[in-house]
Amino acid sequence: MKAFLYESQNARVKFGVGFLKEVGNELKELGGKRALVIATPEQRELANEVATLLGDLCAGIYTEAIQHVPRESIGQSMHVVQELQIDSFVPVGGGSSIGLAKALALETSFPILAIPTTYAGSEMTPVWGITENGQKKTGKNMIVKPKTVIYDPNLTVTLPPSLTVTSGMNAIAHCAEGLYAENANPVISIMAEEGIRAVSSCLPRILENPEDMDARSEALYGTWMGGTVLGSVGMALHHKLCHVLGGNYKLQHSETHTVILPYAIWYNSTYAPEAMARIARAIGSEVDDVAGAIFDLSKSLGVAVSLKEIGMKKEDLDEAAVIATRNPYYNPRPIDGSAIRSLLEYAFIGERPVQGRTL
């Protein structure tokens, strides 16, 4: 066995149907007395419900969270934090709400109690991302990692089918890249494989029966695995490409992850054989067709499988390839500019990765 380093990260997780009602007790455990509930405009009703459950512990509601956390949105919300004398944050929703809470925690060091309603997994990580001047910058700081996470499968029932699928594929992406991370280790690899198995197997069941709480619980369980992987080890090419495409071209976050994932795996397939074997086992595919099988899964679930479908312009592909290769993340296969440009071309068209052939 290869030598490795494993570091555990403290986290309190309450997982179960109906656990939203515990939010007040959990905030008290963190010492929060004047919480700001954070959400997107679409989650305003749920934000109000959480505020009601918190009662006197809620000092205000902010429902203007925006995806990719633009720098200007942080300044606007910091005025609210100061005016209301906030001492803690309760983001409700997906990566936009939790991302804004993290940015505010980076400024204030106030604790976060996260209530996720999607399968993105940001709630389990110390990773923050802020978009400024058209560039998305990311970093790690334990201050921004939520101290407590409440997973209540009831909260995912109203998630639109397309977002259910794409945020689930986002969770799978965290797991897949964790398997070939520079600092991968046996413990996290077990969690990554289990996360892929859980999410990939339950997404079709959720679409077939949106009221299937066992399937929704399984999806959140896989999300927890994926988020833990994302927060424990480094990411690689897939995440770099998604940060570039989302931050620079304003593509929707989870849709971008869904489109790019099979092509990033295709790019790395022959350079990470152990990771490919684990992914294949988790999704029940042939080892030399892992990328194609993930593409097929997305397509079978009725979501976009090309950059063109989600708003990317063909004339921007050259620039995107240059930006993505300028300051590359670690990746098992060396980053080659022409190969990355080819990857983006395939992803733009939405052509299925070729079985048994390297990109």
Residues 183 and 331 in one domain: yes
| Average pLDDT rounded to a whole number, residues 231-252 | 94
Residue 10's pLDDT is 80
31, two tokens: 């010492």
What is the band of 256 on the pLDDT scale with cuts at 50, 70, 90? very high
Average pLDDT, rounded, for the chain: 95
Indicate if the pLDDT at residue 96 is higher than 90. Answer: yes
Q: How many domains does the chain fold into?
A: 2
Residue 67's pLDDT is 87
Residues 142 and 176 in one domain: no
Q: Judge whether 358 lies within some domain.
A: no
Q: Write the pLDDT tens digit of every residue in 159-200.
A: 999 999 999 999 999 999 999 999 999 999 999 999 999 999
Residues 121 and 232 in one domain: no
Residue 273's pLDDT is 96
| Average pLDDT rounded to a whole number, residues 265-278 | 97
Residues 21 and 49 in one domain: yes
CA distance 28 to 314: 51
Range of the domain at 52: 12-156
Q: Judge whether 288 lies within some domain.
A: yes
- The reported pTM is 0.90
Q: Judge whether 46 lies within some domain.
A: yes
Residues 210 and 344 in one domain: yes
What is the band of 142 on the pLDDT scale with cuts at 50, 70, 90? very high
What is the band of 220 on the pLDDT scale with cuts at 50, 70, 90? very high
Q: Judge whether 359 lies within some domain.
A: no
Residues 245 and 276 in one domain: yes
Residues 283 and 218 in one domain: yes
Where among 98, 129, 156 does a domain terminate?
A: 156
Strands 113-116 and 127-132: unpaired
Where among 156, 178, 203 does a domain terminate?
A: 156
Decide: helix, strand or coil at residue 226: helix
Strands 113-116 and 148-151: parallel
Nearest partner of 72 among 108, 38, 103, 39, judged by Cα: 103
Where among 122, 156, 190 does a domain terminate?
A: 156
Residues 150 and 180 in one domain: no
Residues 309 and 208 in one domain: yes
Residues 74 and 27 in one domain: yes
Indicate if the pLDDT at residue 305 is higher than 80. Answer: yes
State the angle between helix axes of 161-179 and 273-283 in degrees (0 to 180), rounded to the nearest 10: 140
Q: Judge whether 77 lies within some domain.
A: yes
112, two tokens: 């976060």
Q: Judge whether 64 lies within some domain.
A: yes
> Looking at residue 32, which CATH number applies to its domain?
3.40.50.1970
Q: Judge whether 7 lies within some domain.
A: no
Asked if residues 236 and 331 have their Cβ atoms less than 8 Å apart, the reply is: yes
Q: Write the pLDDT tens digit of every residue in 7-42.
A: 777 889 999 999 999 999 999 999 999 999 999 999
Residues 150 and 223 in one domain: no
> Looking at residue 231, which CATH number applies to its domain?
1.20.1090.10
Residues 227 and 282 in one domain: yes
